Chain A
């Protein structure tokens, strides 16, 4: 794991990391990935990825359920007008 990888991930996560933190995370990430490599080494040819979850497959029928009162919806919000959330102005630039 390069320091630049950590910088890129931190930037995508909107995290501002100090140089010391970058170094520490790079080491920690490397340790975590090491654990996953160990898991990857296990032979899972016969195990379905869904094997552990299949029994819990649950869908809901298309039925309407109660919604939250507007006061509750906006309760924890730092900025709102009477009915809507307010955010700093940005223009839509997403790819999809």
Chain B
């Protein structure tokens, strides 16, 4: 059998660290990089008698994520204890959610820019839980050290159905999920800091089979590219294993980006049995319709809706739309400039091209100007001056720089610097006459049919008008004057 006789079946779990000031069940600060064990209290240390009290903001954030992913919301949600022993888990159980997560039955559609456009990846559940502490293994050959600063940090877990079939599809799903989550303002979504962690469950089956194969879970993936590479490796490994007569063992495997392989983590002595039961220290969380409406009203435009607006309603090319989708500050300026009446397709290249260039140049010389703070009305006015022929594109760039430097309006700068393009034939007449007089040879050539010779005359006019002449008008006037046409 060849690889094409097989099909990969993948579900993805994503853990997202929420951007709260304090932990999930206690008031300890959530902060990255603090000295070890300085952000702990009796609750997150599991000292006897300490009681957890849920963080209301974390709950709102979790519901926000669930709604953004099209989930239904359990109006009565519940926390459960997931029991297991591990040194980074002081209580001997993790407070998580089992059968009443905040969100269930959602979906995320892959964007029109993906090779898997329109694929709906079903979201099985969105639940809230607490993070564990951090175990560091490489400090000592015989001992591990434990830092509990992270213990109790609020995490949202987003679990898909096993709907993904291809490593690139997984990659596109994660990118769209990341974009969607980053719009919600509930997390910094930083993969390198571990704020967003992805764990694919990978299995393979013969094409056409309906039963699922045995899955492995891959960990230690801190970039979407690693997820893609690890999945490719894991799919090939499983196919080869089965074809050579072996069978896949359900286990957790760790990705090694240096070798490009996954390796089994320590073999399990027994199947996991977490003995979930309802957390007796926390009452069920009820969410009213009014609370849901309030969260819904704060959701704002989703990336999918924004993409559709830019590509379909405004007709932007996808490279411009993509820049705006990933750069909220640029998108805000774009939207505001269009709201000032500017033409969307004309504005986009000015922001993506010219303003971005100004931004880079200023960053290079450590200038503090925020080019995106330009008044949308000024940018719209600048474009209007180009559209009505007052400014050539080259002069408009000069005006843009001056607007950014001085904060003056484009009209003021055009007036101060006397930059308005000469767009009346009468005003151009002296310069046209002078050019003809100075270039008798070129005039002869044009009369003889050598059209290219007009370049010299146009250049002459542009020089004498310091670049302010409208080139199209110069061209036309010269022809009329020389050829009488």
B84 in complex: contacting residue of A81, A88, A89, A94, CB < 8 Å: A94
B180 within 8 A of A: no
Evaluate contact between A84 and B147: CB separation under 8 angstroms: yes
Q: Chain B residues with Cβ under 8 A from A58's Cβ?
A: 53, 283
A85 to B40, CA, bound (A): 13
A92 within 8 A of B: yes
Q: Chain A residues with Cβ under 8 A from B145's Cβ?
A: 81, 84-87
From known contacts A57-B283, A65-B27, A84-B147, infer whether A93 and B38 are also in contact, taking CB-CB under 8 Å.
Answer: no
Min C-beta distance of B278 to chain A, whole Å: 9
From known contacts A60-B55, A62-B20, infer whether A83 and B144 are also in contact, taking CB-CB under 8 Å.
Answer: no
A22 within 8 A of B: no
A49 to B284, CA, bound (A): 9
From known contacts A12-B275, A93-B268, infer whether A68 and B41 are also in contact, taking CB-CB under 8 Å.
Answer: yes
Q: Which of A66, A74, A86 counts the most chain B CB atoms within 10 A?
A: A86
A59 within 8 A of B: yes
Chain A residue nearest to B29 (CB atoms) is: A64
B70 within 8 A of A: no
Q: Which of A11, A73, A74, A84 counts the most chain B CB atoms within 10 A?
A: A84
Contact digits for A40-76, partner B, Cβ 8 Å, 1 yes 0 no:
0000000001100110111111111111101001100
Min C-beta distance of A72 to chain B, whole Å: 9
A92 to B132, CA, bound (A): 12
From known contacts A54-B283, A87-B143, infer whether A62 and B41 are also in contact, taking CB-CB under 8 Å.
Answer: no
A95 within 8 A of B: yes
Q: Chain A residues with Cβ under 8 A from B146's Cβ?
A: 84-87
Contact digits for A1-45, partner B, Cβ 8 Å, 1 yes 0 no:
000000010011010000000000000000000000000000000
Evaluate contact between A64 and B27: CB separation under 8 angstroms: yes
What is the interface size of chain B, counting residues whose CB is below 8 A from a CB of the partner? 58
Q: Chain A residues with Cβ under 8 A from B141's Cβ?
A: 89
B169 within 8 A of A: no
Min C-beta distance of A80 to chain B, whole Å: 8
B252 within 8 A of A: yes
Main secondary structure of the interface of A (DSSP, over half): loop
Min C-beta distance of B326 to chain A, whole Å: 28
Chain B residue nearest to A91 (CB atoms) is: B266
Range for the number of chain A residues in contact with chain B: 35 or more
Min C-beta distance of A48 to chain B, whole Å: 8
Q: Chain B residues with Cβ under 8 A from A88's Cβ?
A: 142-144
From known contacts A92-B265, A93-B252, infer whether A67 and B28 are also in contact, taking CB-CB under 8 Å.
Answer: yes
Evaluate contact between B37 and A83: CB separation under 8 angstroms: yes
A65 to B25, CA, bound (A): 11
B56 within 8 A of A: yes
Evaluate contact between B143 and A89: CB separation under 8 angstroms: yes
Evaluate contact between B140 and A63: CB separation under 8 angstroms: no
Evaluate contact between B270 and A11: CB separation under 8 angstroms: yes
Chain B residue nearest to A11 (CB atoms) is: B270
Min C-beta distance of B415 to chain A, whole Å: 53
Min C-beta distance of A76 to chain B, whole Å: 9
B87 in complex: contacting residue of A65, A87, A95, CB < 8 Å: A87
Evaluate contact between A59 and B53: CB separation under 8 angstroms: yes
A57 to B54, CA, bound (A): 10
Interface residues of B in 83-107 (CB under 8 A from A): 83-87
Min C-beta distance of B420 to chain A, whole Å: 56
Q: Chain B residues with Cβ under 8 A from A66's Cβ?
A: 27, 41
Q: Chain B residues with Cβ under 8 A from A89's Cβ?
A: 137, 140-144
From known contacts A67-B29, A87-B146, infer whether A94 and B86 are also in contact, taking CB-CB under 8 Å.
Answer: yes
Residues of A bordering B, CB below 8 Å: 8, 11-12, 14, 49-50, 53-54, 56-68, 70, 73-74, 79, 81, 83-96
Q: Which 7 A-B pairs have the closest CB atoms?
A: A65-B27, A62-B57, A53-B283, A59-B56, A85-B146, A87-B87, A84-B145
Selected A-B contacts with CB under 8 Å, 27 pairs: A12-B83, A12-B275, A14-B85, A50-B76, A53-B284, A54-B283, A59-B59, A60-B22, A60-B55, A61-B56, A63-B21, A64-B28, A65-B22, A67-B39, A70-B35, A70-B37, A70-B38, A79-B143, A83-B36, A84-B145, A84-B146, A86-B140, A87-B135, A87-B144, A89-B142, A90-B144, A96-B217
